[in-house]
Every structure is written in structure tokens, then in C-alpha cells.
Amino acid sequence: MTSPCELQLYCNDEHKARAIAKKIMIMAKRLENKYNFYNPDSYLSELNQRKTDVLDTQTKDLLTRAKLFYKKTNGVFDITMGTLTQSRKLETLKQIEEASQRLKPFLGVEHFKIKKNRLTFNNPHTLIDFGGFVKEFAVDQAVKILKKEKITTALVNFAGDIYALGLKPNKQRFSIGIKNPLNPSEYLTSIKLSNQALTTSASYERSHKIEEKSFSHIISSSNLQDEILSATVVASSVVEAGVFSTALMIKPQLETKLEKLLILKSLKLLRS
């Protein structure tokens, strides 16, 4: 992963702890290499370039879940947003807008189908990007490894995608600080977790400017709203939390029964 990844696990056997950490690191690196959208030699790129249509079990599962989350978020969370990525490489706003309008008809998971272990597209333009999915999936996989190794207390944090396993040794829940989006060195509040996942999406985290217009790393077919600075979601899995925290940055009024915390431009906190 290109972002900082942290693993805290509680184990009386240091050798075992290091072996588990190494196993998790290898797993995360394998996922990164396999599903790297920008690496032309990755397995995902081979699918996008139509060089192969063969799906392994893991990829078929991810694509199936992505279709499900597309439906659950009313189309807000869409792994085919990678289709618009090439437009962001252009130099002027006019070029970006023209390219975006040309490519928008090819957005949506309805443009690809899964038939047994085969992936088919109905056009040559739709691209799949697991960028908002794989890091979260890696954390969930790390938790599976920890449970298999009989670890009962751990905190996995892959660049803010977090899972708290069990309770701390003092029998207290893990306390996760929520940053001030306008001053990330400051924390506005905290959320306590035990056997739960938490992710935060924020448009300020990674962005670039073209002709003085800022573009967030969160790619959407519509303009990102600017009233919400960050969205934090608590769920049973990191993938689900990540999907909804991203979706809420695009559509804050999206309905979900998951625990969420939105931070407004005024720094007001909205909990539900």
C-alpha cells in the first residue's frame, strides 16, 4: 500500500507476532500489485485492457460485492468511476469537461457482467477501479488472518481504514480520534470501537488543481458537495464502512442505518 499501514497486535509470543505481521504485509502487497489501476501489468489492468476475461474467485467476489454496494447506495458508489480517470490527466478544464461528458454514458456496473468465471463488458470504454475498495478489503483480510491465528486483541490501521479486534488488555474499547479536516493535527472527537470497523473519507486528503479548480481523489460523475468536509462510518466490515463513507462524501443525504459522523464546513458534528 502506498499509504502508511499500522498493525498493533497483543501476543505473548514475539516470534509468532512478527510472523503474523509478515503474513499480513505479504497479503496486502499482493493485493496492491494485483489490483493496481495505474500499473499496466497488473491483473486489473489486464481485465480493463480486455487482455483477459478470466476471473479468479477473489476478483469475482469483489466484483459481485461492488455490484451489491452500487445498488445499496443507489449508484453513488461505483467502481466504474475509473472510466473518468483518464479525463483527469488532461491539461484544461474544457478538455476535462469534454472528455467527462463523452465518457459518462459508460459509467455504471450495468456495463459489465459476470458469467461463471468470466467478465464481459458491453463497450470498450468502461474501466473498473478498485481504489475505494481494495485497501479496505485488505484490512478485512488482515482481521481474518488474526482470527485464524487466535489473536483476540489487535488494531489494524491502513491509512485510516481501521478495524479494532476485541478489547485492549485493560478491557477497554479502542478509542479512535477523528481529525479536524481543516487542521489534521487536531482531533475534534473520538469514537470507541470493539470488533468494529471505522473509515473516514475526506476530500481534503488528496487533491490537485487545474486552472485553480481543485479535484478531489474521490471521483464522481457529479460535482462533490463542499458542505461536508469528512464522513466517518462505523460498520461490521471495513469494506462496508469504506463504501458508505465515500458515498456520503458524494451524497450526504444518503440513507443508511450504519453509525456515521459528518463534519460540516463550520466544523459542526452531525452524528447518527
The torsion angle over the Cα atoms of residues 131, 134, 139 and 143, rounded to 10 degrees, is 170
- The residues spanned by each domain of the chain are 36-121, 154-271
pLDDT for the residue 215: 47
Query: Hey, is 243 helix, strand or coil?
Result: helix
pLDDT for the residue 194: 99
Mean pLDDT rounded to a whole number for the chain: 91
pLDDT for the residue 211: 45
Contacts for 234 with CB less than 8 Å, ≥ 6 apart = 191, 193, 196, 197, 198, 241, 258, 259, 260
Q: In this predicted model, what pLDDT tens digit does every residue of 197-213 receive, in sequence order?
A: 999 998 665 555 554 54
- Residue 167 backbone class (left: φ over 0; alpha: ψ -120 to 50; beta: rest): beta
**Answer CATH for 154-271 from 2.60.120.20, 3.40.50.720, 3.10.520.10, 3.20.20.150:** 3.10.520.10
Query: Nearest-CA neighbor of 246 among 37, 77, 2?
Result: 77
User: What's the helix, strand, coil split of the chain in %, to 5?
Assistant: 35, 25, 35
**Answer CATH for 36-121 from 2.40.50.1020, 1.10.10.10, 1.10.3980.10, 1.20.1050.10:** 1.10.3980.10
pLDDT for the residue 73: 97
The pLDDT of 229-246, averaged and rounded, is 98
